[in-house]
Amino acid sequence: MLYLPELTLLFMALVFFFVSLGNLKESRLRSLGLLLSAIAVIASVYSYGLNGSLFFDAYRVDAFSQIFKVIITFGLFIVIYLGEGLYGIDDTLRPEYYLFLTISAFGLVSMSSAVELITIIICLEISSFALFIIIPFRKKGAYREQMEAGIKYALFGVAASGITLYGMSYIFGMTHTTYLADLMKIIPGVILKKPLMLIGLVMLLSGFFYKLALFPMHFWAPDVYEGAANETSSFVATLPKVAAVALLIRLITLAGAEVGQFTWVMMIFAVLSMTFGNLSALVQTDLKRLLAYSSIAHAGYLMIGLLCASELGYLSGIYYIAGYLFMNLACFFVIYHLAPQGENISFDGLTGLYKRSPLMALTLAVSAFGMAGIPPTIGFTGKLFIFTAAIKKDMYALVILAVINTGIAIFYYLKMVRAAYTSVDEQLSPLNLRVSTSVLGIFFIVIIILLGIFPQGFIDFAKEAVAAVL
């Protein structure tokens, strides 16, 4: 029972493996994917509340891991749901697309439960390798950026894993254990005395900075987002970050809540990430590139919550990443449906959107305002919690830098909304959305606003989860 969500995902991968041998129609494939991922969601909800450990305590199932499993499997469900028709994926590779998507999700789900360094690295690699393969699956059109994107993602990913492993070797060398539970007892006493431990820990975190696209491991994000197919980007942009947050929380706890050099390093990364992301996003014209830079900025905000290393900080981190998942998926949902040929969308592609499809324009506006942190959305409430956590730790300067960044960011989010709501004289063909597509759009709008106004329910779950780690 403890392993039920993972087993379901493995089963799903197996099914798609066999399906890939045959020749199933796309719509069938999608229904199959929806069905199986829905079962995975149910399985993880069902296993919520279970506690236990597997594989010689290397794999722990607790409230903390389960909440991330629910978020990740639900995210997988939405990614499959929004990729209706797989416009951007090569016709012959569709079953494989689902197969590797599932495997990557399996890796991420396992990552949230991994509490031993070797297990962590294995899960990290499972999730990354599947993505390395999936990115060049894009339909061969006039562009070949997908190859570049695939290579970049792979090279950066391998380099990041290398750094992580190197950091692990330091940590293992000094502590003679790979279990997080044991490390937690040793590291807080050592980190202030031995700089090597600090370096080891920061290197260890690099692999997750890479997943989260946090400075200085962010360089891949714009090119990969731009080069990958729209539906692939929607996965790459969201789910790995959720798992990365889970692991970062587990690993930052290792250092203890002491504000020391470790916190300073994180702070610098957070500030540079926000500033670099926002300033670069200002000049982008390709929407996916813009979202990539905005995600770098969001990684910075998120890091503020995490580096507080307090209950509130972790809570806000979990809340923020869940909100980020919905807001970002909503943006990708709009981009995906605006590009029936799987092409990239720039600001010009948004022009007159509110005449072509009011619902799409509203979805885009709500998610953009959400990411900008305008109330009453989930993005605002998330920032409120994060900044509260930081000010409780007396990090005023950090918060002021963050809000200035929010001010900069509003400009490019507003640019998106403005493009969608500018009136044009020429006649544009209306977007014909299916009912099922509209339902997803409405779902995004409702959840972004409702979860923003009533965060308490989610917070209660997250609180339970954080209690399992601290």
Shortest Å distance, C-beta 404 to other proteins? 7
Cα torsion 286, 289, 290, 291: sign: positive
Q: Among 282, 333, 295, 294, which residue's Cα sits nearest to residue 439?
A: 333
Taken in order 106, 109, 111, 115, the sign of the CA dihedral is negative
Complex with other proteins: residue 423 or 436, whichever CB lies closer: 423
Minimum distance, C-beta of residue 73 to other proteins, in the bound complex (Å): 26
Q: Which one-letter amino acid corresponds to residue 223?
A: D
Minimum CB–partner distance for residue 442 and other proteins (Å)? 11
Q: How far is the CB of 396 from other proteins (least distance, A)?
A: 7
Q: How far is CA 211 from CA 68, 169, 235, 325, in A?
A: 15, 20, 12, 14
CB of 385 to other proteins, least distance (A): 7
Find the helix or strand (DSSP H, E) in which 234 lies: helix 230-236
CA distance 84 to 231: 9
**Tokens coding 244:** 């990365």
d(CA 116, CA 179): 4
* Kind of pairing between the strands at 59-61 and 52-54: antiparallel
Q: Specify the residue, 224 or 312, whose C-beta has the smaller distance to other proteins.
A: 312
For residue 325, the minimal CB distance to other proteins (Å) is 21
Q: Can you list the alpha helix ranges (DSSP code H) found in 135-228? A: 145-175, 180-190, 195-212, 220-227
- Under DSSP, the state recorded for 89 is B
Q: How far is the CB of 375 from other proteins (least distance, A)?
A: 4
Minimum distance between the CB of residue 376 and other proteins, rounded to whole angstroms? 5
Residues that bind other proteins (CB under 8 A): 312, 315, 354, 358, 365, 369, 374-376, 380, 384-385, 387-388, 391-392, 396, 399-400, 403-404, 406-407, 410-411, 414, 418, 421-423, 455-456, 459-460, 463
Report the alpha-carbon distance of residue 22 to residue 54 in Å, rounded. Answer: 35
User: Angle of helix 261-282 relative to helix 287-307, nearest 10 degrees?
Assistant: 160
Residues 294, 305: Cα–Cα separation, whole Å: 17
Check: CB of residue 87 under 8 Å from CB of residue 342. Answer: yes
Q: Which is nearer to other proteins, 120 or 309 (CB)?
A: 309
Looking at the Cβ atoms of 64 and 210, the one nearer to other proteins is 64
Q: Residue 143 carries which DSSP code? A: -
Q: How would you label 84-97 residue by residue, b for 16+ Cβ within 10 Å and e otherwise?
A: bbbbbbbeebbbbb
Nearer Cβ to other proteins, position 113 or 316?
316
Query: Phi and psi of 114, rounded to 5°?
Result: -75, 130
Complex with other proteins: residue 342 or 379, whichever CB lies closer? 379
Token pair of 294 as six digits? 């905005």
- Closest approach of other proteins to the CB of residue 384, in Å: 7
Least Å from the CB of residue 456 to other proteins: 5
